[in-house]
Amino acid sequence: MTNYRAFAALLGAALLSSCDKDAVQQLTGPVPGAQIKFFNFGVNAPGVNFYANDRKITAVLSATGTESTTGTVYGGVGASGFYAAIDPGQYTLTGKIAATVDKDLAISTVTSTLEDGKFYSFYMSGFYNTTAKTVEGFVVEDPVPAAFDFTQAYVRFVNAISNSSPMTLSIRNTATSADIVIGTAVAYKSAGAFVAVPPAVYDLTTRVGTSTTAAITRTAVSFSAGRVYTITARGDMTITSTTATNRPFLDNTTNR
């Protein structure tokens, strides 16, 4: 885990080394004790850079070597999906517009306390309000089980869809057709517990209550032994198109 944190910290610093004066640039010294990921899952939200207080944590480099004005777009994860190392403490976490128009305008703000030795995820979520130029957000802890079985994969479910009912995630092994329910029903802005599952390829389904009708599906997702995964529901539950960007979708992100 120490090597993992060090790698993530060095990568994050390298990504930001060409950014503006408030970018993270220190490459030496002890690795900070808290870790956090940043997700832009706010429907119709613009691309953003993520901040902790006034410190820029994520940014995207352009082909010219300067900071891109695209930022982390909808459906994206900051810092290429790696955790960013940060000192423990209370923070105002924000997503700020990366584009030239409304540059650095904070559109999503969450205050959270990050503890030493713990992992977290910050989600921009819900629907972007084009008049107020705001979108919701929330933070969840990513509590990887202490008793870790490296022959298993670990999976949990997060609900980032504001117009959804609480949903339960189940996965079906495509080789054996065995079904596994991943915890209990998860409401908007909440996360379920990590559940150990045999490594395999699975079809994913969420359902509401005792309904047998699938709310969201995704097929052929691979879970590998020794890895930890978060499946997050994002999008708009009213969309029925199977190709629309803002359709209900199950995102698969590796925590470890």
Question: DSSP for 192-253?
Answer: ---EEE-SEEEEEEEEETT--S-SEEEEEEEE-TT-EEEEEEES-TT---SS-TTS-EEEEE
CATH number at 2-141: 2.60.40.1120
Closest C-alpha to 170, from 185, 160, 158, 180: 180
Q: What is the C-alpha to C-alpha distance for residues 106 and 8, in angstroms, rounded to an integer? A: 25
Question: Residues spanned by CATH 2.60.40.1120 within the chain?
Answer: 2-141
What are the tens digits of pLDDT across the range 185-218? 999 999 999 999 999 999 999 999 989 899 999 9
CATH of 153-254, one of 1.10.10, 3.30.2170, 2.60.40, 3.40.50: 2.60.40
pTM confidence score = 0.85
- For 147-176, how does the pLDDT look when each residue is reduced to its tens digit (9 = 90+)? 889 999 999 999 999 999 999 999 999 999
